[in-house]
């Protein structure tokens, strides 16, 4: 039992996983407008904020139109004499 030896040179290490870039970041970087990954992330964040503002504006403006037509009621059809 005393003849057991361990070979310490064969240590296995877990491969380091590099973070992957998202498809949208790679697309923005390919255009050449933005040079860094952090800049591309900020650009995409700004784009999301602008889209949310546009959606909010469209939804709220449609709400006013439909509510005012409900108050007026349907159009009346009058026969011509």
The tens digit of pLDDT for each residue in 4-47 reads: 876 666 667 777 877 888 999 999 999 999 999 999 999 999 99
Domain range for 39 is 23-66
Question: Which pLDDT belongs to residue 9?
Answer: 66
32 in a domain, yes or no?
yes
Q: Does a structural domain hold residue 74?
A: no
Asked if residue 73 is part of any domain, the answer here is: no
* pLDDT in the model for residue 30: 95
Task: Quote the pLDDT of residue 55.
Answer: 96
Q: Does the residue 8 lie in any domain? A: no
pTM score: 0.55
The neighbour count for residue 27, using CB atoms within 10 Å, is 12
Count of domains for the chain: 1
Q: What is the maximum alpha-carbon separation in the chain?
A: 119
**75 within a domain of the structure (yes/no):** no
Taking CB atoms within 8 Å and a gap of at least 24, the contacts of 32-37 are none
Given its phi and psi angles, is residue 69 left (phi above 0), alpha (psi -120 to 50 degrees) or beta? Answer: alpha
Query: What's the pLDDT tens digit per position in 51-69?
Result: 999 999 999 987 554 445 5
The answer to whether position 27 is within a domain reads yes
Residue 2 belongs to a domain: no
Q: Which residue has the tokens 């973070």?
A: 19
């Amino acid at each position: 039992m005393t003849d057991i030896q361990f070979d310490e040179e064969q240590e296995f290490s877990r491969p380091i996983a590099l973070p992957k870039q998202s498809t949208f970041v790679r697309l923005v970087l390919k255009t050449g407008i933005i040079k860094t990954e952090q800049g591309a992330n900020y650009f995409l964040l700004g784009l999301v904020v602008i889209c949310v503002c546009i959606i909010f504006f469209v939804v709220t403006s449609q709400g006013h139109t439909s509510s005012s037509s409900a108050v007026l009621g349907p159009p009346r059809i009058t026969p011509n004499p």
